[in-house]
Every structure is written in structure tokens, then in C-alpha cells.
A and B are shown apart, each in its own frame.
Chain A
Amino acid sequence: MITKVRPHLSPNERLLFERSSPGKVAYQLPKLDVPAVDPGRVLGSENVRADIEGFPEVSEVETIRHFTRLSLWNYAIDHGMYPLGSCSMKYNPRVNELVARIDGLAWAHPYQPERLAQGSMEVMARLEAALAEITGMDAVTLQPAAGAHGELTGILLIRALLEKRGNPRKKILIPDSAHGTNPATAVLAGYTVEPVRSTSAGMLDVAALEGIVDPDVAALMITNPNTLGVFEENIVCVAEILHAKGALVYMDGANMNALMGIARPGDFGVDALHLNLHKTFSTPHGGGGPGAGPVAVKKALEPFLPVPRLRRAGKKWAWDYQRKHSIGRVRAFYGNFGVFVRALAYILAHGGPGLRNVTLDAVLNANYIRKKLEAYFDLPYPAPNMHEVVFSDERQAEKGVRTGDLAKRLIDYGFHPYTVSFPLIVPGALMIEPTETESKHELDQFIDAMIAIAGEVERDPETVRAAPHGTRTSRADEVTAARKPVLRWKSA
């Protein structure tokens, strides 16, 4: 039974190209009352485009309706639960937006002189301090523009420190339960990757680790809690093993939504980590806005942080560019400032106890889903889970239904799919992260939908295999699209 109402308008929307009619315009300018200038003469003819072949000519109302209709085909966190595991798709509180639109912040310009940008600089300084406190680290850079960018910055900092000590070393160890971007980061920073297997409990194998940490190892990149949603219980011991051999511990902080206010990476041996403000700290995500991946470090890595650094000069804030060990800039200007304002608003609105509640509720919601669904879906790693839970499609696969099919059927029930086929150590993974912002009512609807789909798999697997049925288009032919891509519209 579909309990979630979906007033999903599905008009058969044509492309703007197909609506075009010669001479139609969206806006009419008044008659020119100054002498006409030939753009080719003033800009150089090579810089002037004569015409764009097939450029659509449409009216304003047609344009507005076209894009509004397209927007109705979207699914967003403002429509309902978005249980995409590992992504912390939490609701973005409107107060964040209100604060980010305060004139002095919204219209700040990066070339504004320091004396006129003190408020913006104060926002950044306070955010750095709050993130340092939340993570238990000594210093923070806000520059990286997203999570993977933060990872690269963090590993470059580690490389810089090791180089200064005389040897950048060769390898980065990465558990098979880590985020997929971690190996790419290590390679980009000039390291080779050595994978570390997880135990059957879904945790890092400490004995195996002890055997492979040698003087070539620069760092371990660990995601904690890992992609199974399991907390690495031996993290203190793991960090000691690395540190004893002069290596460092980098933590992918994408899953901080399970730790905030409860445990601090700086207290359990982490030397550097990045945060995803667009995950844990509720700033818009994906197409909704730019991300931010601040990096927090321990004292030893602080001299290498990107320039410029915020510095207190008497009663004012100043930018410090004179830092001889810095790895240099990683981003134009100071990072994605609008995101910082929203994240600080979120942190201050919650306060310490509030952030702790965020974590507790996120963990509670994930465990509620686990408890309700474990009778219907296979749970490959029974270790206690934190903010997300990973099932496998093992039972449904017997009926020929795989995780991707279940996810597509979930669309018919009015929910965005969970994360499909990740982490890779779980064949046919269903990775579900509800976040703290979902009510029990919404969670129950999701659970009912999943249970109903599990029932359909038993009775009528074909319905699930052919889903979605309620959308304007069903399954795209991904294979043909990849083998014979059509990249440009052409008139018939």
C-alpha cells in the first residue's frame, strides 16, 4: 500500500529546443538611445560569437513554466526522507538561510579591505574555533571546497610534515571499509595505496595492521564510524600502532554525525581529519549549493596549513600570508563563505547539548530502522551500528531481485532510494542513513514501504524488477547510453 501521497505532476515536457519559434523573445529592451558599438571592433572579432546554431527562442512564461515543471520531477529533502547512506541528507533549517541572507554577510566581497570585513572574518574565526572544539583538534582550515578536497589537503599536510622530518614515505593504508574517495586522494598526493582487510565483525584487523605498518607507511586513512556504520572500537590501539612507527592517522570525518558531542577524534589519536559541513552541519547538499570540507589538525601539522590564516592583531582580525611551511593555497580566496555562515548558525542554534542530541537521535533513528527491518533483510555485519545501517540483498537475490531493483521500487513508494551497492565489502548493499531530522512518522512510512517491497519480492518479483512504475520515465537504458551516447540535441 502506498501511504505517502505524491502529487507528482508528470506532464510530457518538451525540450526548450522543441518549443522554439523564430523571433520569439523573453524580454524586450527599450530602443537604443546611444550610438551603437560594434562588439567585434572593441572586443576583437575572435571574441564575438555570430550566432548559436539552434539556440531556442522562447517567451518568458514558457521558460519559467519549463523549468518549474522540471523542478517538480525532482526529489528533495524538503519533500521527504532522503535515506542516502553515507551522505547525511539532513534537513537544512531555514534559520540558516535567514542568517546567510543578512546583507553584510550576503554581499561581502573577498576584495573588501580587512577593516571592512571584520564581521565576516569573525564568523570564520568562530567557526574554526567551534570545529576545533567539536573534533578535539588544535587548528582548522576552512579553505577546502568539499570532502574529497579536504582529504587531499589533509594528506598533503601529512606529506609536508613527513618531508620536513626527512622522508615523505611511500604508502597510505586504507581499510576496505573506507570511503571510495580515500584511495584516489592518496594516489593524487603521490602515495601508493595498501588496502587493509576488515574482520568478520566489520572492524579493522588490528593484528593484521600491526604486521603491515613499516617505515614506508606515511599514514592510515580511516573512516570512523566506517562505511558499515560500525565504530572502530580499537581506534586508540590502532593510532598507537601507527604513531609508534612514526606514521600518522587521517580520519575521513564524513560520518561525524555519529560522533558529534559524544566522542572527539582528537581524543582517540587522530592527527588530521576533514568535516563535511554539507553533511554533519546541515548546509545544502549536492545541486542545492556548494560544499565545504574544513580540515582540522593537531599542533604538529598546524605550520603547514594553507595560507592565508586568520590571525588576531590587537583587537582586529587580519590575514596572515607569511607562513614559510604552508602547503600554499588550496582554494581561491577563503573557501565557500556562505556555507560557513550556515554551519555556524547551525552550531550556535544547537549549542553543545543540542549537537549531542543530534548525534543521539541520528543513532537512535538508524537503530530503529535496523530493528524493524532485520526480520526482512539480511544483515551481514551484526556489530552495533551507529548513524546508518547496511543490509544486503541476499534474501531477495534468491528471487532474482537485487538492491538496485529494491531501490527503484522505493521510488514508487515516494522515497528517494538509499545508497545502492556501497560499501563494496557488502555484496548487494542497501545502505540506509535516516539522519536525526526524520520524525517517527516518516521513519514508519519508510519502514512500511521497505516491508511491503520485501513482501512483493516474495509474491510478485517482476513488479519490483520492472520498477519504477509511477515516474514519467522508468528505467533508462544505461548500457546503450554509455556505448552510443547522444550528446547534443539535433532537430528532426
Chain B
Amino acid sequence: MSIYPKNFRYTREHEWVRVDGNTVTIGITDHAQQELGDIVFVDLPKTGTRVEQGGTLGSVESVKAVSDVYAPVSGEVIEINQALATAPEKLNADPHGEAWLVKMRLSATKELERLLSAADYQAYIGAEK
């Protein structure tokens, strides 16, 4: 059984997207948290921030490195996961669930078509290794 939910879409920069009508929830993938190692700090945008697809949404810092998180789609940030400010370790424990990063209001549904399916993403990270 795959750990990558089939109803998510993925980016080559290792973010995932879950679509609920006009709202999307965004996080980083299990592969990303594994590569980063122990995560110690998560920097997220303010609600109301508008981001273009591919623009910087925030950053995730681990003991090894700081990595930017890129917006998988364009839109407006409507909610951020406050819990990560005091408990960044949740990103290591449950990256596809409890440790989502932001929710955004989607501005162009068409952009979702450019994202990868779970199977394509798994093939991609397989090839990257």
C-alpha cells in the first residue's frame, strides 16, 4: 500500500495538494520530510497573502538544511497551521495529515492539471534516487 494518498496531487518540488471544491490544503510529502530529516522550524505566510504558482510559500528548516516551500497553485492563503509553530516535529510524524501547512483559495483550477498523480510522483522520486 502506498503512503501517498491517491486523492492528492503532487509537485516535483515535493509538495502535496488536497482539493476541496474551491479550497486547497497544501503540505510537504513524506519523501520531503525524510530527505530533510528532523524538522526544527516552519515558516509560513500570513493569511491573506497572494501567491503565484511556483512562488515561495514559506520555508521548512531541518537540522541539515533550510528548504523553500513552493506554491503548487496560485491563490490566496486563507488559513495556516498554527500548531506547527510550537511543534514542528509533527511534520516528521504526519506530513500528509495533521501537519498540513496552509489552506489556499484556488484562483485557477486549470493549474491543477499540471500537478502529478500519486503514481507519477512515486515514479518521479524513484527516478530521483
Contact = CB atoms under 8 A, between A and B. Distances in A.
Nearest to B89: A483
Contacts of B89: 483
Interface size class of A (residues with CB under 8 A): under 10
B40 interface: yes
A425 to B, nearest CB: 13
Contacts of A421: 64
Contacts of A478: 38, 63
A86 B120 CA distance: 38
Contacts of B63: 478-479, 482
A483 B37 CA distance: 13
A398 to B, nearest CB: 16
B8 interface: no
A482 B64 CA distance: 11
Nearest to B129: A427
Say what secondary structure dominates the interface of chain A: helix
Nearest to B37: A479
Contacts of A483: 40-41, 88-89
Interface in B48-82: 61, 63-64
- Residue among B38, B40, B41, B63 having the largest count of chain A Cβ atoms under 10 Å: B40
A482 B38 CA distance: 10
Interface in A473-492: 478-479, 482-483
A479 B41 CA distance: 10
Interface in A408-440: 421
A483 B89 CA distance: 9
Contacts of B41: 482-483
Contacts of B64: 421
Nearest to B87: A483
A478 B63 CA distance: 7
Nearest to B61: A482
Contacts of B88: 483
A478 B38 CA distance: 9
Nearest to A482: B40
Interface string B87-129: 0110000000000000000000000000000000000000000
- Residue among A421, A478, A482 having the largest count of chain B Cβ atoms under 10 Å: A482
A478 B41 CA distance: 13
Contacts of B38: 478-479, 482
A220 B20 CA distance: 45
A421 B89 CA distance: 23
Contacts of A479: 38, 40, 63
B30 to A, nearest CB: 18
15 contacts: A421-B64, A478-B38, A478-B63, A479-B38, A479-B40, A479-B63, A482-B38, A482-B40, A482-B41, A482-B61, A482-B63, A483-B40, A483-B41, A483-B88, A483-B89
Given A482-B40, A483-B40, 13 more contacts: A421-B64, A478-B38, A478-B63, A479-B38, A479-B40, A479-B63, A482-B38, A482-B41, A482-B61, A482-B63, A483-B41, A483-B88, A483-B89
